[in-house]
Amino acid sequence: QVQLQESGPGLVKPSETLSLTCIVSGGSISDYYWSWIRQAPGKGLEWIGYVSFSGSTTYNPSLKSRVTISVDTSKNQFSLRLTSVTAADTAVYHCAGDTMSSTGYLFDYWGQGTQVTVSS
């Protein structure tokens, strides 16, 4: 049973970089697709992007210029970097995995989510 756990600072200052890590247990990170998805307060779900088992990435065009998702297979974890954050980036950030499809877009495993607030 795959389990995902996010970690990272809960508070980030405006214009700085948000960095989060998702540790994957119960499965190899080298086999599937891994995404970051966020949910602003009272809002719906917004996909940020994914990293594949091969290390290739695909990002939401609306965030592409500020996002980097990378994978560390030695630690079985993947990471999110979001630069130049503003209050609009305040959200609960979930990591999620696609272990079922070949697209990377079917999320059958999710982390519980971590709250990130952007404020000075």
Applying CB under 8 A, the site for another protein has a residue count of 20
Give the separation between CA 115 and CA 118, rounded to whole angstroms. 10
Q: Which residue stretch of 13-21, 22-30, 71-79, 105-113 sits at the interface with another protein (rule: CB under 8 A)?
A: 105-113
Least separation in angstroms between CB 7 and another protein = 15
Ranges assigned E (strand) in 1-120: 3-7, 11-12, 18-25, 33-39, 45-51, 57-59, 67-72, 77-82, 91-98, 109-110, 114-118
Cβ atoms of residues 107 and 99 within 8 Å:
no
Q: Which residue stretch of 8-16, 20-28, 39-47, 70-78 sits at the interface with another protein (rule: CB under 8 A)?
A: 39-47
Q: Looking at 58, 66, 68, 76, which residue binds another protein (CB under 8 A)?
A: 58
Residue 102 interacts with another protein (CB under 8 A): yes or no: no
Cβ neighbours around 70 below 10 Å, total:
13
Least separation in angstroms between CB 76 and another protein = 19
Among 44, 32, 119, residue whose Cα is nearest residue 71: 32
Residue 47 interacts with another protein (CB under 8 A): yes or no: yes
Tell me which residues touch another protein (CB under 8 A).
Answer: 44-47, 58, 60-61, 94, 96, 100-101, 103, 105-108, 110-113
